[in-house]
Amino acid sequence: MACMKLGSKSEVFHLDGHTWLCSTGLQSDVIIEIGDMSFHLHKFPLLSRSEVLENLIGEHSSEDEKRCVLQLHDVPGGAKTFLLAAKFCYGIKMELTALNVVSLRCAAEYLGMSEDYGEENLITQTENFLNEVFGSWTDSLKALETCEEVPLLAEELHIVSRCINSLAMKACADPSLFSWPMQGGSDIRNPDGTVIWNGIRTSAKPHPVGEDWWYEDVSFLRLPLYKRLILEVGSNGMNPGRVAGALMYYAKKHLPLLGRKSSIESGNYAASRSTISATSESDQRSLLEEIVELLPDQKGVTPSNFLLRLLRTAMIIHASPSCRQNLEKRVGTQLDEASLQDLLIPNSGYSVETLYDIDCVQRILDHFMLMDRDDPTSNYVEHEGQITESSHSLVPITMVANLIDSYLAEVASDVNLKLAKFQSLAAVVPDYARPIDDGIYRAIDIYLKAHPWLTDSEREQLCRLMNCQKFSLEASTHAAQNERLPLRVIVQVLFFEQLRLRTSVSGWFFVSENLDNSQNLSGNLALARNDLHPQAGAIHGRIMVDDMKERVSELEKECLSMKQEIEKLGKTKVSSWNILLRKFGFSRSKSKYGDPEASKPTDTKELPTSSAPLINGGENQNNESAE
């Protein structure tokens, strides 16, 4: 730490209780009171250096009184700083440091210790030393912290702004070009890269300094000064990612709730509410709102998981609506980077209905869809009267579809979750975002299991969110045996499995014809080379194709029979349902999804977890295909 020595005389001040005495051999003729401390001094050394003291002594002195008493209770820095100023007036040895120079500079200004009252007076000396302090990162930081002791004069004398400018300049500079003392970096570098330690050159290389080296140092600043520093580094052109990193570090240090997990399952939610009193809720609210305002606006600069933790904390401490809306919008612009665990925000409203805040996720998703629709890099095309998106830009929205389907599966077991709210959230994701519908099927199945009182009409309405054509083989097998689904949906699943098989057979026909043509063109050559095995591959292929033809014919007959059975059914019956399953060859044996009669298929860990968006037109397409 930088230091400047002033004065040459020996110490003559000593403390007696709350009184500072000056043992120069002369009787004191002036008493200065500051707070509960008093200084017994002499007039001449003081009035020769200070304009204010000269005027006060002249006003309060009289021939009848041997001593005059002055009260300077508002001197900057209090009695501690005035003692240093008094020593300077007497020429006694003292040291200027980064910890006392700010208050002493303000006291010198207050006392009028300018060049008019002596060369190299205290104002000049402290200004010269401040310029030396501004050359050091550590000293500038210490000086800035002490500005809080004398805020008004420090601002008036531009000491605060000069400290902040010094720190911002150093924080924005290339760390490899540091030429000032800094924490952990006091080694002296030579141009050749060697290090001089105590004057001895070594071949050791200094440790590289990361771009985040200054985060911890400035995290001890109080919010008003920290805010000014962040604004200054931003205006100096610092990378937004580094600015966001500094704010994240500061927030984690000063917001205790930010580091706590939000999941209801962790059991920490109630405990987190009780810990707010450790730091005032109003203080945390002010701090969080300021940090949100300071975060860079650029997309992707601040991680989504951090924004969601800020949002969760904002809801717990009841931050302003504008703050929460700001966070929801920020999360929405990069929702594809979020994780399910961070999206599970506990419901902290006064009228709590569901465990998690579904409405908040709905608003976040709406922001994402609005941003995705307005994104010029997203190319939308119209196909068969419906708007879809080109394949190259599907990755973010497909990731969001997977995330929302997983979220729906997580919250579906909440018995208080209304059908309309579940449908509303699921319906926001467009059809083209779900390559397969296993994820939304899994969420719907869990919801049906947790809400067995739904009517047949409500079940039908809910199942319109998924498209049976986009089921995987595993999901189709599971759905075909799922008694919670409406019969119409099960029939659709079976029908589309038949279509899938028919498509496979058509593929075999195409392969077989190409194989025949290829072998006919090269038949003569093949017979000449190998007369023992003529057209063996073609014969084997025809046998397989014949088997497939026979299977398709049987399926078509069974489908016709099934349609006739359906027409006879007035409503869903378990016995008829079982007959249809047996007609299509589905057994009731246990699979990897579990026994449907034991209500196993909806187990979260067993159902397929892939996902993608709603489809309401599946029913019409199915009927047209069936006809």
Angle between helices 223-235 and 240-254 (to 10 degrees): 170
404 shares a domain with 272 = no
Q: Answer yes or no: is pLDDT of 152 > 70.
A: yes
The mean pLDDT of 446-458, rounded to a whole number, is: 93
Number of structural domains found in the chain: 3
Specify which of 230-244, 389-403, 514-528 reaches the highest per-range mean pLDDT.
230-244
349 shares a domain with 381 = no
211 vs 296, higher pLDDT: 296
Is residue 89, in this structure, part of any structural domain at all? yes
pLDDT of residue 482: 86
562 vs 611, higher pLDDT: 562
Grouping H, G, I as helix, E, B as strand and the rest as coil, residue 343 is helix
Final residue in a domain of this structure, among 357, 387, 402: 357
410 shares a domain with 348 = no
pLDDT of residue 235: 95
- Which residues are within 8 A (CB) of 178 and not within 5 positions of it... i.e. 6 or more apart? 170, 185, 209
342 shares a domain with 398 = no
Confidence bin at 483 (pLDDT 50/70/90): confident
217 vs 609, higher pLDDT: 217
Final residue in a domain of this structure, among 133, 151, 173: 133
541 vs 151, higher pLDDT: 151
Element (H, E) at 382: strand 380-383
346 shares a domain with 477 = no
pLDDT of residue 551: 64
Domain span including residue 479: 375-519+538-627
Specify which of 207-221, 423-437, 478-492 reaches the highest per-range mean pLDDT.
423-437
Q: Answer yes or no: is pLDDT of 474 > 50.
A: yes
268 shares a domain with 380 = no
Is residue 609, in this structure, part of any structural domain at all? yes
Confidence bin at 566 (pLDDT 50/70/90): low
Mean pLDDT estimate for the chain:
78
pLDDT of residue 521: 47
351 shares a domain with 292 = yes
Confidence bin at 325 (pLDDT 50/70/90): very high
Tens of pLDDT, residues 366-382: 999 998 776 655 544 44
Is residue 577, in this structure, part of any structural domain at all? yes
Tens of pLDDT, residues 16-72: 999 999 988 888 889 999 999 999 999 999 999 999 999 999 888 776 667 889 999
447 shares a domain with 498 = yes
Confidence bin at 562 (pLDDT 50/70/90): low
Type of residue found at 611: S
574 vs 467, higher pLDDT: 467
Adjacent-strand bridge partners of 202? 195
Tens of pLDDT, residues 63-112: 666 788 999 999 999 999 999 999 999 999 999 999 999 999 999 999 99
Q: Which of 42-51, 274-283, 443-452, 474-483 has the lowest mean pLDDT?
A: 274-283
| CA–CA gap between residue 512 and residue 216 (Å, rounded) | 71
pLDDT of residue 339: 93
Phi first, then psi: what are they for 595, rounded to 5°? Answer: -80, 120
Tens of pLDDT, residues 337-362: 999 999 999 887 666 688 999 999 99
pLDDT of residue 532: 43
Q: Answer yes or no: is pLDDT of 477 > 70.
A: yes
Cα end-to-end distance, the chain, whole Å: 89
User: Which token pair is 419?
Assistant: 């059908």
% of the chain surpassing 70 pLDDT: 67
Is residue 526, in this structure, part of any structural domain at all? no
Is residue 108, in this structure, part of any structural domain at all? yes
Q: Which of 213-217, 260-264, 597-601 has the lowest mean pLDDT?
A: 597-601
| Global confidence as pTM | 0.75
Is residue 164, in this structure, part of any structural domain at all? no
Q: What is the 3-state secondary structure (H, E, C) of 497-536?
A: HHHHHHHHHHHHHHHHHHHHHHHHHCHHHHHHHCCCCCCH
| CA–CA gap between residue 517 and residue 574 (Å, rounded) | 51
381 shares a domain with 279 = no
Let me know if 292 is exposed, middle or buried by CB neighbors in 10 A (0-12, 13-18, 19+): buried
Phi first, then psi: what are they for 265, rounded to 5°? Answer: -65, -30
Confidence bin at 472 (pLDDT 50/70/90): confident
Is residue 304, in this structure, part of any structural domain at all? yes
Q: Answer yes or no: is pLDDT of 593 > 50.
A: no
Tens of pLDDT, residues 128-144: 999 999 999 999 999 99
8 Å CB contact between 6 and 94: yes
| CA–CA gap between residue 94 and residue 254 (Å, rounded) | 37
% of the chain surpassing 90 pLDDT: 52
Query: CATH code at 101?
Result: 3.30.710.10
563 vs 574, higher pLDDT: 563
**Among 435, 358, 456, which Cα is nearest to 389's?**
435
Match 């007039």 to its residue by tokens: 43
User: Which token pair is 617?
Assistant: 């037109």
320 shares a domain with 390 = no
Specify which of 315-319, 388-392, 570-574, 604-608 reaches the highest per-range mean pLDDT.
315-319
Final residue in a domain of this structure, among 133, 165, 189: 133
438 shares a domain with 307 = no
Is residue 462, in this structure, part of any structural domain at all? yes
420 shares a domain with 322 = no
Grouping H, G, I as helix, E, B as strand and the rest as coil, residue 6 is strand
